[in-house]
Amino acid sequence: MNLAPDAEPPALFRIVFVCTGNICRSPMAEVVFRALVTKAGYGDRVVVSSAGTGDWHVGEHADSRTIEALARRGYDGSRHRARQFEAADFDRHDLVVVFDRGQERILTAAAPTESDRSKVQLLLSFDHDAGRRGTGTDVPDPYYSDAALFESVLDMVEHASTALFRQIEPALRQGTSS
């Protein structure tokens, strides 16, 4: 593949985090995962985004409690704008990470191919210690709760995102050394 001199190399990996409205859990994961990728030096090789299964909040900022929880840990979620997951996202992404079984059912049902269905994975499935911590398979939706649940959700997101990054990092490392 010939690239123009000013063209960026293609990303090695494209990931989208999908929750219900794209204002709480998925923006957290997008910001946290992007920070992990950037800190490791792969920011130009990984595309990280987020979306919601519903359209209720399209164009809105992340929930203020999401932005505040992220800020308390040194992340900046202020530039986020919610969007809805669309069918073309299956073609644009290598991995579609969801937060609960409901989103998993919605997106696997919407996936046009078996390959696309296999892209849909629960975030906590990457965190092998989640069961030990008693978090189960679903990341709870903090929208109708208090700031404390936003902090707990961010804990889950950080742990699982770190575990996911550890799984893909060897391929990223191999891809950048060629």
Active site members: 19, 25, 141
Which residue's structure tokens are 């390959």? Answer: 115
What's phi and psi for 50, nearest 5 deg?
A: -150, 165
Q: How far apart are CA 88 and CA 101, in angstroms?
A: 21
Write out the H or E segment, with its range, that includes residue 18: strand 13-19
Is there a contact between 119 and 89 (Cβ–Cβ < 8 Å)? no
Q: How far apart are CA 153 and CA 5, in angstroms?
A: 43
Q: How far apart are CA 13 and CA 47, in angstroms?
A: 6
SS3 84: strand
